[in-house]
Amino acid sequence: GDSVTQMEGPVTLSEEAFLTINCTYTATGYPSLFWYVQYPGEGLQLLLKATKADDKGSNKGFEATYRKETTSFHLEKGSVQVSDSAVYFCALSPPMKTSYDKVIFGPGTSLSVIP
Amino acid sequence: KAGVTQTPRYLIKTRGQQVTLSCSPISGHRSVSWYQQTPGQGLQFLFEYFSETQRNKGNFPGRFSGRQFSNSRSEMNVSTLELGDSALYLCASSSTVSGNTIYFGEGSWLTVV
């Protein structure tokens, strides 16, 4: 079945460091891919998404590119801030033709950014 | 446009009691799904409703149930609460317009003592 694998962390970085959180997936067809972020004490917020191969999603300085050939959707940010400390979830949703299937989430990666 | 609204935000219940959580989706969204989040198990899918029908169900015991009303609002119920049911319960909604993007509420924090 469909699945999402991501590095679980925790990841600790100094402010202004470069961030990469790896995410790979297994799915049939062309799923949509997402990154969600959860700040302490809050629900999940959609950070960015990509719906087809080679699409790049971006938001708040974060980027991720849908790589069909490597089945990956790695999250990157050039310079992290303390306010980026949160848990990041990679997720996939099957193609619309099978939209009855549920969204599948990775285990989440905890990021701590220290001043 | 209002987001997904969940009530109550925080609640404490005693073992053996039951609890009902409520979720109001984004206006126009007809699909509502529920997730349980715990430190040990991560984010686990409970069930999904679309137009008042349960379309998907996760691997949870029958003590966990839900329903959806004609206005797309949804409730989930947990009966005979156990200590292990302590968790953050998240509701998410989506629509055909939003495609397969789901939007989450802030969650309901349940503590069972």
List chain A pLDDT tens, one digit each, 115 residues: 889 999 888 999 999 999 999 999 998 888 999 999 999 888 999 999 999 999 999 999 999 999 999 999 999 999 999 999 999 999 998 776 544 567 889 999 999 999 9
* Tens-digit pLDDT profile for residues B62-84: 999 999 999 999 999 999 999 99
Set of chain B residues whose Cβ sits within 8 Å of the Cβ of A30: none
B112, β-bridge pairs: B13
Q: Which residues of B touch A (CB under 8 A)?
A: 4, 6, 33, 42-43, 45, 48, 55-56, 58, 88, 90, 92, 99-107
Sequence-ordered list of residues with C-beta below 8 angstroms from that of B4, at least 6 positions apart, any chain: A43, B23, B24, B25, B26, B91, B92, B93, B103, B104, B105
Mean pLDDT of B91-112: 88
What is the rounded end-to-end Cα distance, in angstroms, of chain A?
A: 41
User: Is residue B1 predicted with pLDDT exceeding 70?
Assistant: no
Set of chain A residues whose Cβ sits within 8 Å of the Cβ of B100: 32, 93-94, 96, 99, 103
Report in angstroms the alpha-carbon separations of A4 from A103, B23, B43, B55, B101.
10, 27, 12, 22, 16
Shortest Cα distance, chain B CAs vs residue A91, angstroms:
10
pLDDT at A102: 77
- To the nearest whole number, what is the mean pLDDT of chain B? 93
Pairs of CB atoms within 8 A across A/B: 51
pLDDT at B40: 76
